[in-house]
Amino acid sequence: MSFKRKSLGDNIFDIVNTVILILIGLSMLAPFWHVVVRSVLPYDEAIKSSFVLFPKKTTFEAYKYILRSERFVSSLGISFIVTVTGTVYQLAMTTFAAFALTKKTLPGRKLFFTMFIVTMFFNGGLIANYLLMRGLKMINNVLVLILPFGISCYNMLIIKSFFEGLPSDMEESARIDGADTFRVFFSIILPLSIPVVATFALFFAVDRWNGWYNAMIYINDKSKWPFVMVLREILISNDTESMQSNYVNQEYMVGDSIKMAAVIVSIFPVMIIYPFIQKYFVKGVTLGAVKG
């Protein structure tokens, strides 16, 4: 900045702003720290106080319990499969449609476009969807966690506007060399769009990993639940049946540390991927905002 001299008022403004932002940041991190501490706190420490900033002793019993429990492990497996297949499926559906709609000369383009836009404003609601899923024999079927999440129109429009912003000369020269549309998409458009595709891959993966709504509505068979539903059951319904009950009754606080350890297990994968992809996702989100 060319104006070096700062007034007293501006200095105070800077300091106050920074202090408030630090406090906001700490308030975002504090609950997570609390969860981490509770998950590793041994029973005898945990019953002394519910407010522990730094644990003196730590134990990983709760994590060992989760990784030994068949219920947790099998639901983690389901969540993993749903996340991977669901993300690939949603990415394919969304990028394919976005790519097709970038072709301005496509007959019927306007009609298709309208068909997608309408879905942003109207939806059948819970009951109509429930009846549909029942009609499709998807009740108690793990596919209900994947198939209904094919296209979100809003995301599709953002990806489309990104595709439209790509330089067209590469496509043109590929066409002259005899590349067909499939070739153009997979060898030119897709490789050029890695930042955006990576961003949406993260969004979709997080949604599938965290998604519990469809599981709650459509899946009654608990052995087919994803991890987050099992987590929901022990955290919110407070149903300790999912843990071996004698284990919980003997040492109630151990049950508490299992809950917190389960929370950590649930957010761990997201935390791992998130920093690597952060620089991309701001671009991914704002693209839609700037281009409209």
Partner 1 sequence: MKYLKTRAQQGKISAKPLGKRILDHWQYYVFLAPALIFVLIFCYAPMYGVTVAFKNYSPMRGITGSAWVGFENFVKLFNLSKFWQVFKNTIVLNFIRLIFDFPAPIILALMLNEVRCHWFQRITQTVVYLPHFMSWVVIAGIMFNILSTDGVINTIISHFGGTPVKFLANPDTFRPLVVISQIWKEAGWGTIIYLAALINISPEFYEAAMIDGASRIKQLIYITIPCILPTISIMLILRMGQIMNSGFDQMFNLLNPSVYDVGDVIDTYVYRIGIVDGRFSMASAVSLFLNIINCAMLVAGDTISKKISGSGLY
Least distance to partner 1, CB of residue 145, Å: 14
268 binds partner 1 (CB under 8 A): no
Asked if residue 272 binds partner 1 (CB under 8 A), the reply is no
4, 168, 176, 236: residue in contact with partner 1 (rule CB under 8 A): 236
Nearest distance in Å: CB 289, partner 1: 5
Q: Does 250 bind partner 1 (CB under 8 A)?
A: no
Query: Is residue 212 a contact point for partner 1 (CB under 8 A)?
Result: yes
Q: Cβ neighbours of residue 63 under 8 Å, at least 6 residues apart?
A: 39, 261, 264, 265
Total residue count of the chain as it appears in this document? 292
3-state SS class at 147? coil
Q: How far, in whole angstroms, is CA 60 from its chain's centroid?
A: 27
Token pair 């947790």 in the structure block, residue: 72
Contact between 274 and partner 1 per CB under 8 A: yes
Q: How many whole angstroms separate alpha carbon 210 and alpha carbon 115?
A: 29
Binding segment (CB under 8 A) for partner 1, from list 74-82, 90-98, 171-179, 240-248: 90-98
3-class secondary-structure state, position 143? helix
In Å, the largest CA–CA distance within the chain is 75
The one among 44, 64, 73, 124 contacting partner 1 by CB under 8 A:
124
Looking at the chain, the number of H-run helices and the number of E-run strands are: 15, 0
Residues in binding contact with partner 1, number by CB under 8 A: 92
Residues in region 47-76 near partner 1 by CB under 8 A: 49-51
Task: Give the residue, chosen from 15, 67, 115, 194, that forms a contact with partner 1 under the rule CB under 8 A.
Answer: 115
Scan residues 158-197 and list those touching partner 1 (CB under 8 A).
180-182, 185
- Rounded CA separation 268/81 (Å): 17
For partner 1, give the closer residue by CB, 196 or 263. 263
Site for partner 1 (CB under 8 A): which residue of 66, 91, 196, 260?
260
**Contact between 156 and partner 1 per CB under 8 A:** yes
Record the tokens describing residue 235, joined without a space: 């955290």
162: tokens are: 């990104």
Among 36, 81, 88, 97, binds partner 1 (CB under 8 A): 97
Report which of 264, 254, 257, 234 is spatially closest to residue 39, judged by C-alpha positions: 257
Nearest Cα neighbor of 119 from 129, 133, 127 is 129
User: According to CB under 8 A, which residues from 15 to 54 bind partner 1?
Assistant: 17-18, 20-22, 24-25, 27-29, 31-32, 34-35, 38, 49-51
